[in-house]
Amino acid sequence: MENIIGLKEFRADVPKIAGKVARGESFIVVKRSRPIFKVSPVDEEDTWETVIDFTKIKKGGLDIKDILRRI
């Protein structure tokens, strides 16, 4: 179920709303009675894809500065 909340309420209650989203609720945030964005739970199975695991190259991973220097 999607709940409709105002932008002002969203700003004031972000931690509370984040908890509800984590439990599966969705929200449509409106400003002046017009929808501006939607907040909904992330489908974790389809969201992240491992492209490269730097911990397999070096225990503990690699420093970003070293990676960028070599590119």
pLDDT tens, the chain, 71 aa long:
679 999 999 999 999 999 999 999 999 999 999 999 999 998 766 667 778 887 887 787 888 888 888 88
CATH of 1-42, one of 1.20.140, 3.40.1620, 3.20.20, 3.30.530: 3.40.1620
Report field, pTM of the whole predicted structure over 0.75: no
Alpha-carbon distance of 5 to 54, in angstroms, equals: 41
Name the residue ranges covered by the structural domains of the chain: 1-42
